[in-house]
């Protein structure tokens, strides 16, 4: 499944937040968006998954305009793990995850063995088996986040959109969640707060500032001192970590720019 | 209760709401008892005989010995009234679930969208200004005016909540509150200026709610509307579940939220309007019954909807019986009883820790 966003503009209230962003997610590719607070990352994602109204521009899913698709059709292809999962009503973990199956069901259709298999699999992958009968609202932030991820997995999407999926997670689960997402082998579009994590798990990164793409490229190419400086106004040192071999960023706040 | 819950969990897998037969039997018992008891107590077996004879034309031995007065009390007065109570309880508690899901707010009840104040305004208008004397409109009567008022109010709320493009649960609730106070002000103005103490008493009685005016010619309307709506919403349980996930999650899970929300609210307003027009305003049923049921059986609508509807029906049947029995020689408005039972139960649940009403 590939996703193409063309010259997208989003205005909320009177503020023009996303000012013409184009990006592409190829089949099986994992694409990241980085940028400072308030640069329009989440607004852009929400416009793509159709919660925010699109002012101008197009979102194409496999070449087909998403504006012409029904919510159900979209939900069969795209799953979303959002930033806030506040709910006013309580459900058991099992019920929550099962809801991921509903886009695949007709109005009156009951869940069948296949759905329960997918449920078990999703719970297994997110290590939630022991919590399946617990009430969702009684869970910790990290556990809630895993339930939402399990629901997205149960949805069997072809594209997964993640908005800061590691927000409430412990270090262990941060890596596990991202490994898990990677192991699904589907296209992903994610906003990650942590630049090092995006470097590690994304094949391609778009750097967003003030509603515009200021730079794009592979992590190795994109992540430079200059990029960090432009995005976050902070000086830094970027190097290959001698222990892990992965790209590392050390921030050096307060140091005058050279 | 614990064992009940455990048993229930076992049955959950196959999605069969296991207690439906139990509740159906309870409902039947409640109806029979409510029909037998009252100012005149009629033996249960005779009540059953009368109902069997009338409904299925089955004549059991001994039917001939039943006095005609019993026959009239059971068939002409109590049975239509009890059926109406059952339907009102089912309808109001169903609307409660639907409204709570649609505006995604645990405080919502059938009256939140200004329906109550709209109906009150309609009824006050009819009773105080006396539409009875005006041709054409006069035939519609108090019920018709109340229904029109209820619908007008809920459409206004939907209209206001939709201004600025996106309807959200919060906007709907706020618009409902605004319309509520505006319409109440109008009603109070009419009451203040109209100097008619007799009409004032009927307005008061109407506001407190009562099924006393139920007759056979009103039952088919109330029953068919209620039952059709129940069946409709039983088929919508998956959408209702998804709505509780929050607006964003519901959208990404494939629900056309704007569309369904509007449909659900209009249907719920319609049925509330009809119920209110027939029985006045019966408070608390639509709020309390869904919460009680949710506390016992969980929020999954596949199970919640049938249980709530049945429990609501039983609850109203019993409270209606109480309204006839509590004061000898007189009758209490049933709204007073539902509120005085509902409020303490609600408080109890508020104090109990394991049901959060939403706020975790």
One-letter-per-residue 3-state SS of B260-292 = HHHHHHHHHHHHHHHHHHHHCCCCCHHHHHHHH
Return the pLDDT at B146: 84
Interface check B291 vs A, CB under 8 A: no
Q: Note whether B253 contacts A103, CB cutoff 8 Å.
A: yes
- What sign results for the dihedral spanned by CA atoms B208, B212, B213, B215? positive
Contacting B residues, span 163-182, partner chain A, CB-CB under 8 Å: 165-166
The whole-angstrom distance between A108's CA and the closest CA on chain B is 6
Reported confidence tier of residue B226, pLDDT bands at 50, 70, 90? very high
Contacting B residues, span 21-80, partner chain A, CB-CB under 8 Å: none
Alpha helices in chain A (DSSP H): 41-48, 71-77, 93-98, 113-125, 141-154, 171-183, 195-201, 219-222, 225-232
DSSP state of A92: B
ipTM of the complex: 0.88
Give the SS3 label for residue A217: strand
* Under 8 Å between Cβ of B136 and B198: no
Q: Note whether B241 contacts A99, CB cutoff 8 Å.
A: yes
Return the pLDDT at B215: 86
* Under 8 Å between Cβ of B116 and B123: no
**Higher confidence at residue B360 or residue A63?**
A63
Mean pLDDT of B206-210: 82
Strands A30-34 and A187-191 turn out to be: parallel
Give the SS3 label for residue A80: strand
Reported confidence tier of residue B231, pLDDT bands at 50, 70, 90? very high
* Under 8 Å between Cβ of B83 and B237: no
Interface check B141 vs A, CB under 8 A: no
Strands A56-61 and A204-209 turn out to be: unpaired
Radius of gyration of chain B (CA): 21
pLDDT over 70 percentage in chain B: 90
Q: Which of A174, A216, A184 is nearest to A31 (CA)?
A: A216
Q: Which of A71, A90, A105 sits opposite B251 (nearest CB)?
A: A71
Average pLDDT of chain B? 85
Contacts of A79 in chain B (CB under 8 A): 252
**Cα nearest neighbour of B10 on chain A:** A133
DSSP state of A68: G
pLDDT in tens, B150-188: 889 988 998 888 887 677 888 888 999 999 999 999 988
Mean pLDDT of B100-128: 85
DSSP state of A135: B
Q: Which of A99, A110, A116 sits opposite B253 (nearest CB)?
A: A99
Reported confidence tier of residue B10, pLDDT bands at 50, 70, 90? very low
Q: Note whether A102 contacts B252, CB cutoff 8 Å.
A: no
- Token couple for B280: 């006045």
* Under 8 Å between Cβ of B70 and B64: no
Contacts of B9 in chain A (CB under 8 A): 133
Interface check B109 vs A, CB under 8 A: no
A171-175, B42-46, B300-304, range with the lowest pLDDT = A171-175
DSSP state of A79: E
φ, ψ at B313 (rounded to 5°) = -60, -45
Return the pLDDT at B359: 45
Q: Which residues of A touch B (CB under 8 A)?
A: 46, 49-51, 53, 70-76, 78-80, 82, 84-92, 95-96, 99-100, 102-103, 105, 107-108, 110-111, 116, 133, 137-138, 155
Q: In angstroms, how far apart are the furthest CA atoms of chain B?
A: 69
Q: Which of A88, A110, A138 sits opposite B104 (nearest CB)?
A: A88
- Token couple for B38: 């009252």
Q: Note whether A46 contacts B298, CB cutoff 8 Å.
A: no
Q: Note whether B251 contacts A76, CB cutoff 8 Å.
A: no
Q: Note whether B252 contacts A53, CB cutoff 8 Å.
A: no
Q: Let me know how long chain A is.
A: 258
Indicate if the pLDDT at residue B109 is higher than 80: yes
Mean pLDDT of A83-106: 87
**Higher confidence at residue B350 or residue A63?**
A63
What is the spatial distance between Cα B104 and Cα B98, in angstroms, rounded to a whole number?
Answer: 9
Most confident of A166-170, B106-110, B204-208, B229-233: B229-233
- Ramachandran sector of residue B114 (left: φ over 0; alpha: ψ -120 to 50; beta: rest): left
Strands A159-163 and A187-191 turn out to be: parallel
Contacts of B359 in chain A (CB under 8 A): 88
Q: What is the DSSP string of B16-46?
A: --TTHHHHHHHHHHHHHHHHH-SSS---HHH
**Higher confidence at residue A244 or residue B289?**
B289
Return the pLDDT at B140: 62
Q: Note whether B253 contacts A51, CB cutoff 8 Å.
A: no
Q: Which of B241, B248, B358 sits opposite A51 (nearest CB)?
A: B248
Return the pLDDT at B330: 83
Contacts of B242 in chain A (CB under 8 A): 99, 102
Q: Which of B43, B26, B81, B15 is nearest to B222 (CA)?
A: B81
Return the pLDDT at A175: 87
Query: Taking the model in full, what pTM does it have?
Result: 0.87
- What sign results for the dihedral spanned by CA atoms B290, B292, B295, B298? negative
Contacting B residues, span 234-253, partner chain A, CB-CB under 8 Å: 235-236, 238-239, 241-242, 244-249, 251-253
Q: Note whether B238 contacts A107, CB cutoff 8 Å.
A: yes
Contacts of A95 in chain B (CB under 8 A): 241, 298-300
Q: Note whether A90 contacts B356, CB cutoff 8 Å.
A: yes
Reported confidence tier of residue A9, pLDDT bands at 50, 70, 90? very high
pLDDT in tens, A202-220: 999 999 999 999 999 999 9
CA distances from A186 to A65, A100, A125, B190, B316 (A): 20, 17, 15, 65, 53
Q: Which of A53, A71, A84 sits opposite B254 (nearest CB)?
A: A71
Q: Which of B59, B180, B164, B15 is nearest to B110 (CA)?
A: B180
Q: Let me know how long chain B is.
A: 360
Best of B103, B237, B245 to substitute, by most chain A Cβ atoms within 10 angstroms, is B245
Contacts of B298 in chain A (CB under 8 A): 90-92, 95
What is the spatial distance between Cα B30 and Cα A184, in angstroms, rounded to a whole number?
Answer: 55
Instruction: Encode A89-101: b = buried (16+ Cβ within 10 Å), e = exposed.
Output: bbbbbbbbbbbbb
Mean pLDDT of B134-155: 75
Interface check B256 vs A, CB under 8 A: yes
φ, ψ at A247 (rounded to 5°) = -70, 130
CB-based burial label for A3 (10 Å; 0-12, 13-18, 19+)? buried
Q: What is the DSSP string of B46-95?
A: HHHHHHHHHHH----TTGGGS-HHHHIIIIIIIHHHHHHHHHHHHHHHHH
- A vs B: CB pairs below 8 A: 99
- Token couple for B238: 């998956």
What is the spatial distance between Cα B312 and Cα B23, in angstroms, rounded to a whole number?
Answer: 11
CA distances from B89 to A126, B61, B282, B289 (A): 43, 34, 9, 9
Contacts of B249 in chain A (CB under 8 A): 80, 82, 85
What is the spatial distance between Cα B80 and Cα B343, in angstroms, rounded to a whole number?
Answer: 28
Strands A236-240 and A247-251 turn out to be: antiparallel
CA distances from B162 to A103, B83, B173, B242, B281 (A): 26, 38, 12, 21, 27
* Under 8 Å between Cβ of B20 and B297: no
* Under 8 Å between Cβ of A208 and A44: yes
CA distances from B227 to A134, B23, B82, B221, B306 (A): 34, 16, 16, 10, 12
| Residue A198: partners with Cβ closer than 8 Å, 6 or more residues away | A32, A34, A190, A192, A205, A219
Q: Note whether A107 contacts B241, CB cutoff 8 Å.
A: no
- Distance, CA of B172 to chain centre: 21
* Under 8 Å between Cβ of B307 and B293: yes
- Find tokens 């064992």 and name the residue: B3
Reported confidence tier of residue B11, pLDDT bands at 50, 70, 90? very low
- Find tokens 């009684």 and name the residue: A138
Q: Note whether A108 contacts B235, CB cutoff 8 Å.
A: yes
- Token couple for B205: 């009685």
Indicate if the pLDDT at residue B138 is higher than 70: no
What is the spatial distance between Cα A155 and Cα A80, in angstroms, rounded to a whole number?
Answer: 10
A223-232, B139-148, B256-265, B291-300, range with the lowest pLDDT = B139-148
Indicate if the pLDDT at residue B222 is higher than 80: yes
Reported confidence tier of residue B14, pLDDT bands at 50, 70, 90? very low
């Amino acid at each position: 499944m590939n996703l193409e966003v063309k010259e997208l503009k989003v205005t909320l209230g009177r503020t023009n937040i996303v000012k013409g962003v184009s990006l592409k997610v190829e089949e099986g590719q994992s694409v990241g968006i980085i940028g400072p607070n308030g640069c329009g990352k989440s607004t852009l994602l929400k416009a793509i998954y159709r919660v925010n109204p699109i002012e101008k521009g197009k979102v194409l899913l496999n070449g087909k305009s998403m504006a012409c698709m029904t919510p159900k059709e979209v939900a069969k292809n795209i799953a979303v793990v959002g930033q806030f999962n506040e709910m006013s009503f309580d459900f058991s973990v099992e019920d929550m995850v099962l809801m991921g199956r509903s886009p695949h069901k007709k109005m009156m259709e009951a869940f069948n063995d296949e759905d329960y298999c997918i449920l078990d699999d999703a719970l297994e992958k997110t290590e939630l088996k022991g919590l399946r009968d617990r009430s969702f609202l009684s869970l910790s932030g990290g556990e809630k986040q895993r339930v939402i991820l399990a629901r997205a997995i149960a949805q069997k999407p072809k594209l997964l959109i993640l908005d800061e999926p590691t927000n409430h997670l412990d270090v262990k689960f941060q890596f596990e969640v991202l490994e898990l997402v990677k192991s699904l082998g589907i296209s992903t579009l994610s906003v990650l707060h942590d630049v090092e994590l995006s470097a590690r798990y994304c094949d391609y990164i778009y750097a967003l500032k003030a509603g515009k793409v200021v730079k794009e490229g592979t992590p190795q190419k994109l992540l430079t001192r200059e990029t960090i400086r432009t995005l976050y106004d902070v000086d830094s040192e970027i190097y290959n970590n001698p222990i892990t071999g992965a790209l590392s960023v050390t921030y050096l706040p307060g140091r005058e720019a050279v | 209760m614990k064992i009940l819950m455990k048993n229930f969990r076992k049955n959950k897998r196959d999605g069969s709401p296991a207690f439906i037969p139990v509740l159906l039997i309870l409902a039947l018992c409640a109806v029979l008892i409510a029909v037998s008891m009252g100012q005149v107590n009629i033996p249960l077996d005779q009540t059953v005989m009368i109902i069997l004879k009338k409904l299925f034309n089955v004549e059991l031995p001994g039917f001939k010995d039943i006095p005609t007065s019993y026959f009239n009390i059971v068939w002409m007065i109590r049975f239509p009234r009890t059926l109406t109570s059952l339907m009102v309880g089912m309808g109001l508690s169903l609307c409660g679930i639907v409204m709570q899901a649609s505006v995604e707010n645990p405080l919502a009840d059938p009256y939140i969208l200004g329906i109550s104040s709209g109906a009150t305004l309609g009824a006050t208008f009819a009773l105080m200004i006396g539409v009875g004397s005006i041709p054409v409109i006069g035939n519609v009567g108090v019920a018709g005016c109340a229904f029109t008022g209820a619908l007008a109010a809920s459409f206004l709320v939907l209209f206001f909540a939709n201004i600025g493009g996106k309807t959200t649960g919060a906007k709907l609730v706020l618009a409902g509150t605004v319309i509520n106070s505006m319409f109440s002000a109008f009603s109070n103005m009419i009451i203040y200026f109209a100097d008619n103490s007799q009409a004032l008493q009927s307005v008061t009685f109407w506001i407190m709610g009562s099924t006393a005016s139920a007759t056979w010619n009103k039952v088919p309307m109330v029953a068919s509307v209620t039952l059709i709506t129940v069946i409709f919403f039983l088929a919508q349980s998956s959408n209702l579940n998804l709505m509780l996930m929050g607006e964003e999650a519901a959208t990404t899970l494939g629900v056309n939220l704007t569309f369904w929300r509007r449909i659900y609210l209009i249907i719920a307003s319609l049925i509330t309007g009809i119920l209110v027009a027939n029985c006045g305003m019966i408070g608390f049923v639509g709020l309390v019954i869904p919460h009680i049921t949710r506390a016992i059986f969980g929020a999954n609508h596949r199970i919640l909807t049938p249980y709530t509807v049945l429990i609501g029906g039983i609850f109203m049947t019993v409270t209606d019986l109480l309204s006839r029995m509590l004061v000898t020689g007189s009758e209490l408005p049933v709204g007073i009883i539902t509120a005085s039972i509902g409020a303490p139960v609600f408080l109890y649940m508020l104090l109990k820790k394991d049901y959060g009403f939403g706020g975790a």
